[in-house]
Amino acid sequence: MLNSIEIFSGAGGLAKGLELSGVNHKAFVELNSQACKTLRENYAKELVHESDIEIFNFQDFKNISIIAGGPPCQPFSLGGNHKGNLDKRDMFPYAIKAIQELTPKAFIFENVKGLLRKSFASYFNYIILQLSYPEMTKRPDEKWLDHLKRLEKIHTAGVTNSLRYNVVYRLVNAADYGVPQKRERVIIVGIRNDLNLSWSFPQPTHSEESLLWSQFVTKEYWDRHNIKDMSNSSLTAGILQKTKKLKQKYSLFTPPRKPWRTVRDCIGSLSAPREGESKEYSDHIFRPGAKVYPGHTGSPLDLPSKTIKAGGHGVPGGENMMCFPNGKVRYYTTLEAKLIQTFPLDYKITGVWSEAMRQIGNAVPVMLANIISKSLVKELNS
């Protein structure tokens, strides 16, 4: 069995995905006390290390096959002080340190889409090269741009006796893998070079085309939910144009992938939440105060949810509330947000609603984590 350590664990979305892939967790390293409470509710308490990663001793652990996590990486400005990995907000240096000390077979890291923006390109390349050559550390008096230059020379020369990882990354949309949420994230995967393994990201399994086909061509979507055909009320000018193109593209054939999963697909069978205690689910409690205003419109019931955000209100866009066909809106309950992030029904998220939403919004969708890690574990076990 493959053993793992998870850093910047948060509520444990990535961890749960790895667990479902057959990975055995040896430790969770997380600084936030409430996230640690959540982890202790779902895993053995002794595995949870409520610690600053800067002082965590990785040398206490042996035979670690996978390091996983979501290292925070704040915007990096060339016009700033050029501190690079000395910037206290950038946690990638500690992820690299963990790799250097534990030499795992592989690592999986997740981060926001903004990591790929044009203004961040040089520093992102710097991150990838440091992950590729974790032993080629920055010298005490070396600026990060000089370190980048040295790493580029090592990389292009193609010859090194130091620890090396073959690193790939991809911007993925969780909705394309069956998660009922449009959530774009950068996934970085590295495999130790001496293992001589080949791996690629799993192919997407779901698509917007197939969802629109099932809603506006075959109407199967509405039949499946045993509700009146609502395609006409949902048929905006944009969707009408997409549907016309779909009919021309596929004619009598069905789009090849499964339909995107919608909010209704995910939580439509739940009873409406009530204020106060819920007899059925303790985390399915109505929260009042949801309002629509420009830039805060909620997630339509018959589309994948907008990206659930770590903020309580989820602005901009109203990501943490749903919008019904009649125009009414309400906030997601903790249970609903948890299910949209594809956590198991019995997974416990601790804290009041705003705190629970922060943890859920920061998590990796469990299903996405499972699909990627399952593919990687299969290759590592081969």
Catalytic residues: 73
Biggest CA–CA distance in the chain, Å, is: 69
End-to-end CA distance of the chain: 12
Q: How far is 4 from 43, CA to CA, in rounded Å?
A: 14
- Taking the CA atoms of 3, 12, 305 and 91 in sequence, report the sign of the dihedral they define: negative
Closest to 196 in 3D by CA, of 169, 164, 227, 226: 164
Asked whether the beta carbons of 349 and 355 are under 8 A apart, the reply is: no
Among all chains, which residue has been given the structure tokens 């920061």? 362
Which residue(s) pair with 293 in the sheet?
Answer: 296
In which residue are the tokens 């590295």 written? 190
Angle, helices 144-157 vs 121-132, to 10°: value is 60
**Tokens 């075959």, residue?**
218
For 30, the enclosing helix (H) or strand (E) is strand 24-30
- Given a contact cutoff of 8 angstroms between Cβ atoms, the answer to whether 208 and 216 are in contact is no
Nearest to 270 by CA among 282, 259, 284: 284
